[in-house]
Amino acid sequence: MTETVTLGDDLTVRAIGFGAMALTPVYGEVDDAESLATLNRALDLGVTFLDTADVYGGGANERLIAELLATRRDEVTLATKFGIAGNPTDPDAGAPTFRGDAAYVRQSVDASLGRLRTDVVDLYYMHRRDLTVPIEETVGAMAELVTAGKVRYLGLSEVTADELRAAVAVHPIAAVQSEWSIWSRDVERQVVPAAAELGVGFVPYSPLGQGFLTGTVTSAADLGGSDFRHNLPRFSSDALDANLAVVEVVRAVADEREATPAQIALAWLRYRADELGVASVPIPGTRRAARVEENFDSLDVALSDGQLARLDSAAAAVSGDRFADLTFVSAGRE
């Protein structure tokens, strides 16, 4: 399948991407050989829009991606990010800090290019807002990277509608990246409509709901101390049962469509983006090649109006915010 989506600023990518954070030890230990096999299988299928960040694994994720780029760079639309200092998935690391000053932007891109062993990043995101720096300064520095040929397109992660409008006034923005799924719909209130209005694409991360559809969490007892989800409100003892009930609705629809729950969640997101008029490409992550194939095949899954209504109704029952500290995401500043 060669279906593509044109995001903002005429950036055209395949209709489903790959979130490489899953290839860092977030949900447990990882094997680099298996990770590279998964990445190569993704490219073989046509899943060529790869998303990483300088903070993932303290740069280790970019170095892993570099191994793939060494032989297949021309096949990849490469996205990486800057702006988070620290490890937000480590509950023992303390609160992360953010930087968006011009000097840090220039420093960060050079460091990423070195780890990735490439001379250009296709899509460069501001990972989080540094509220001490005007967004115009941050985006202005990013725009200089386009002029210098180090970056092709610009993106923003977890921004509000107002922040997006201010950024677009400085330089075209190809994509906003934020969490968006059946379990996480706060972005539908303001930033998704703003992106649609401004012609900016949307790249949903965690489109499978912070791992609700991985099958690894069926009760609070499944969350070990090394699993960062134990610190997310939707996995708290007060919210988990309600959110697992949503999984059952997704599974029921999956049985009706002879699809998997993950495919249903991705199909729902595709329909929802169409309804809101925004060009959207989700970036589900996984360690296993079989999961890449499963996610890719979601592009062939159709949903009826009745099934969409049931999924929307289930989504209304989701309990808990998506982060304990909402200032970490756009929902805390809307």
Active site positions, annotated: 56
Exposure on the CB side of residue 322, measured as CA atoms within 13 A: 25
Cα of 101 vs its chain's centroid, Å: 23
Q: Which of 292, 279, 126, 274 is nearest to 208 (CA)?
A: 292
C-alpha–C-alpha distance, residues 242 and 332, integer Å = 23
Report the chain's C-alpha Rg in angstroms.
Answer: 19
Please give the span between the terminal C-alpha atoms of the chain, in angstroms, as a whole number. 38
215, 247 Cβ separation under 8 angstroms: no
Beta bridge partners of 157: 177
Exposed e or buried b per residue across 213-241, where buried means at least 16 C-beta atoms within 10 angstroms of its C-beta: bbeebeeeeebeeebbbebbbbbbeebbe
Q: What is the dihedral of CA 10, 45, 35, 329, to 10 degrees?
A: 40
Please give the full DSSP string across 308-331, using - where no structure is assigned. Answer: HHHHHHHHTT--S-S-SSGGGSGG
